[in-house]
Amino acid sequence: MTAAVVTNECQRGAIGDLALWPALVEAARPMIPSLARLIGAARDARVPVIHCLAVRRADLRGASTNAPLFQVANRTGGLRVGTPAAELVPELGPGPTDLVFPKTHGVGSLGSTGVDAALRNLGADEIVLTGVSVNVAIQALAFEAVNLGYRVTIPRDAVAGVPPSYADEVMKNTLSLVATLTTVEETSARWR
């Protein structure tokens, strides 16, 4: 069993100092130090760390517009390629051995970005799924990963959604059916 940590949209413009959705920033605040500990443990154990970042071209050419979520993101001007908003929050890196994959469309990040190929090349058969948001992308990624044949582990304290009570219900009633729910400490302990 070979695991890889996959972070999703842990960017300054999503959950950091340049974010436009205060409720998500607040929900993610306790997640960031927990996720930083998990990533540190993964790096120490030589477990691959992959960061999936949502980005848009400055001119929005080719940007998704087929869902209200994308229309808002495109209108606000955030997460443009090469801007500070598109950068990973500093607490998470990226580290020198981390892989970073931009996502320019859709809500999933595995097949359309090259992440799936990278995971297979690394020999990973388990994805430790982290980041935001449990509302949409974490669910999409979990389902996509299971459909691609990966086992999925989700440390509850390394994901966030809004409101937090809803995210807890999604974890308990939906994601628990396709993923092993755990904690950062339990996951890190496996690598020691």
pLDDT at position 130, please?
98
Q: Which sign does the torsion angle of CA 9, 32, 153, 182 carry?
A: negative
Q: Give me the pLDDT at residue 72, please.
A: 60
Q: What is the DSSP letter of 149?
A: T
pLDDT of res. 73: 62
How much is the pLDDT for 69? Answer: 60
Pick from 7-16, 74-83, 107-116, 156-165: least confident: 74-83
| Per-residue pLDDT at 133 | 95
Q: CA–CA separation, 185 vs 73, rounded Å?
A: 34
φ, ψ dihedrals at 162, nearest 5°: -130, 145
d(CA 169, CA 166): 5
**In the prediction, which pLDDT does 187 show?**
98
CATH number of domain containing 101 = 3.40.50.850
Confidence (pLDDT) at 104 = 80
Number of domains, the chain: 1
What is the percent of the chain where pLDDT is above 90?
A: 76
Q: What is the pLDDT of residues 17-45, one digit of tens each?
A: 999 889 999 999 999 999 999 999 999 99
- The residue among 182 and 60 whose pLDDT is bigger is 182
| SS3 state of residue 111 | coil
Q: Report pLDDT digits (tens) over 77-130.
A: 667 788 999 999 999 999 999 999 998 866 777 878 899 999 999 999 999 999
* pTM score over 0.75: yes
Torsion angle in degrees (nearest 10) through CA of 86, 168, 110, 45: 90
More confident residue, 68 or 121: 121
The parent domain of residue 113 ranges over 3-191
| Alpha carbon 164 to chain centroid, angstroms | 17
Q: Is pLDDT above 70 for 46?
A: yes
